[in-house]
Amino acid sequence: MDFALTPDQERIQLAARSFAEKSLRPGYQDRDRSSEIPRYLAEEMGALGLIAPGLPEELGGLGLDALTMGLLVEEVSRGDFNMAYLQILGALNGQILARHARPDVAAEFVPKICRGETLIALALTEPGTGSDAAHLALKARREGNDYVLNGEKTSISLAHQADLAVTFARTGSEGEGAHGITAFLVPLDIPGVHRTRFEDVGSNIVGRGSLFFEDARIPDVFRLGEEGRGFTQVMQGFDFSRALIGLQCVGPTAVSLEETWSYVTGRKAFGSPVVNFEGVSFPLAEGETLLEAMRLLCYKTLWLKDRDEPHTAEAAMCKWWAPKTAFDIIHNCILLHGHGGYGKETPFQQRLRDVMGLQIGDGTEQIMKLIIARERVGRVAVPY
Ligand SMILES: Cc1cc2nc3c(=O)[nH]c(=O)nc-3n(C[C@H](O)[C@H](O)[C@H](O)COP(=O)(O)OP(=O)(O)OC[C@H]3O[C@@H](n4cnc5c(N)ncnc54)[C@H](O)[C@@H]3O)c2cc1C
């Protein structure tokens, strides 16, 4: 077992950290008052190869391994957790397009996603189905060389500002469950697509909203893969994005701990720096322990992916445990700042609000635990 990064990984990690320190971290809190991803920042990330570097070079990626991609997500989210959404969605959707879109369609859209010129959403959840996504209802009806989409997607990250959405629709009957679902690439500026935006607790520049499809017509070349295979396609991708989400949560946790160590070393009470008290240093020491465990779990999951070994259970572990642990550690960091920690001028409250979203988004804790149970003992452990 070798925990060392390669010289290339170290170089790329350092470059990403320097970008995040200079260009992302200073504006993280100001951007909380905005409702859109600054396109110039997306393009800067794209120019540095930070959005979807795991994709093949001919599609605008760098052909990097999954672990290196994870290192880059961790670094970006140290500066701005929300800008890392572009990496998660770019990598997940980019991988679906690279594998399942017609080559000319992939060649047209994927490089723009990698460059940060095009924002792409993933539209799976509906008003009636979230965890139980296999029973989605949005309909795609075949008409000649087109598909006509009708229905609603909801709770979609970037819904109000994305240019494209990988959209999952029912082409078969309801009775077919997951086997009747097909994925489509949908440009969101076509007639028949309308959007709304929610008011959320956090991740304001990402935003969530609904996408309404009313006789929205797309050519059949925008179908991704075979009819009825859409659900399997997205589920394969989730194993990757779940480990990346874990590392997205590692970033703000690490900087929160660093800032809190520094604060408690300078702050004095009862004649000594408060870090002198075990009631202060021990929660931080525990936080460091959990942080290291989170990071290693995510790295191991990506390492398994790079070796083409099964990693579904590990990915689900990353997804339920990292956002929850990040939330708990950042919460402690707020408490250890005393009254100052409660103020909006510190970044802690924003980090807390931001990471909380991913305790739900991309699958809840309960669903992740069902996946882990299923991986251990089979379908007997899941409701159907
Ligand atoms: C910040 C954020 C970003 C999101 N981004 C996207 C996106 O980009 N694209 C997209 O498609 N969706 C997105 N979502 C939606 C998200 O994936 C769903 O909210 C999530 O899958 C849960 O579905 P639900 O909200 O319908 O909850 P429900 O499925 O209604 O569940 C409600 C509660 O019941 C629990 N529950 C349900 N079934 C079981 C069971 N069998 N056993 C135990 N407990 C169970 C759940 O864990 C949850 O606590 C996002 C959500 C958030 C909060």
Tell me the pLDDT tens digit for each residue of 286-342: 999 999 999 999 999 999 999 999 999 999 999 999 999 999 999 999 999 999 999
Length of the chain as a residue count? 384
Please indicate whether residue 198, judged by its CB atom, sits closer than 6 Å to ligand 1.
no
Indicate whether 382 pLDDT > 90.
no
**Percentage of residues of the chain with pLDDT beyond 70:** 99
Mutational test site, ligand 1, from 364, 367, 372, 384, max ligand atoms within 8 Å of CB: 364
The one-character DSSP state at 217 is E
**Inter-residue contact 98 to 110 (CB < 8 Å):** yes
Please indicate whether residue 208, judged by its CB atom, sits closer than 6 Å to ligand 1.
yes
Residue ID of nearest Cα to ligand 1 atom 29: 131
**Inter-residue contact 372 to 318 (CB < 8 Å):** no
Q: What is the CA radius of gyration of the chain?
A: 21
pTM above 0.95?
yes
Helix (H) or strand (E) run with residue 253 in it: helix 230-266
From the CA of 258, how far away is ligand 1's center (Å)? 32
**Inter-residue contact 236 to 225 (CB < 8 Å):** no
**Inter-residue contact 291 to 253 (CB < 8 Å):** yes
Query: What's the token pair of residue 193?
Result: 């697509």
**Crossing angle of the two packed helices 278-306 and 66-79, in degrees rounded to 10:** 150
Q: Is 203 helix (H, G, I), strand (E, B) or coil?
A: coil
Contacts of 138 (CB under 8 A, 6+ apart): 126, 149, 150, 151, 152, 153, 167, 168, 169, 170, 213
Q: Is 102 helix (H, G, I), strand (E, B) or coil?
A: coil
Calpha distance 201→216 (Å, rounded): 31
What pLDDT is recorded for position 172? 87
Helix (H) or strand (E) run with residue 294 in it: helix 278-306
Pairing relation of β-strands 223-224 and 268-269? unpaired
- Residue 230: which pLDDT band, with cuts at 50, 70 and 90? confident
- Residue 233: which pLDDT band, with cuts at 50, 70 and 90? confident
Please indicate whether residue 289, judged by its CB atom, sits closer than 6 Å to ligand 1.
no
Average pLDDT, the chain: 96
Q: What are phi and psi of 181, to 5 degrees?
A: -105, 135
Helix (H) or strand (E) run with residue 263 in it: helix 230-266
> Which single residue is written with the structure tokens 């020491």?
285
Q: Around Cβ 323, how many Cβ atoms within 10 Å?
A: 26
- 192 φ/ψ sector (left φ>0, alpha ψ -120 to 50, else beta): left
From the CA of 149, how far away is ligand 1's center (Å)? 23
Query: What's the token pair of residue 268?
Result: 């004095």
Q: How far is CA 285 from the centre of its chain?
A: 28
Indicate whether 192 pLDDT > 90.
yes
Stretch among 126-130, 131-135, 235-239, 303-307 having the lowest mean pLDDT:
235-239
Residue 380 to residues 215, 310, 365: CA-CA distances in angstroms?
40, 20, 19
Please indicate whether residue 363, judged by its CB atom, sits closer than 6 Å to ligand 1.
yes
Please indicate whether residue 331, judged by its CB atom, sits closer than 6 Å to ligand 1.
no
Which atom of ligand 1 is least distant from the CA of 200?
1
Please indicate whether residue 323, judged by its CB atom, sits closer than 6 Å to ligand 1.
no
From the CA of 130, how far away is ligand 1's center (Å)? 5
What pLDDT is recorded for position 229? 85
Closest by CA to 345, choosing from 285, 265, 259, 253, is: 259
Q: Is 205 helix (H, G, I), strand (E, B) or coil?
A: coil
- 225 φ/ψ sector (left φ>0, alpha ψ -120 to 50, else beta): left
Closest by CA to 48, choosing from 85, 97, 75, 12, is: 12
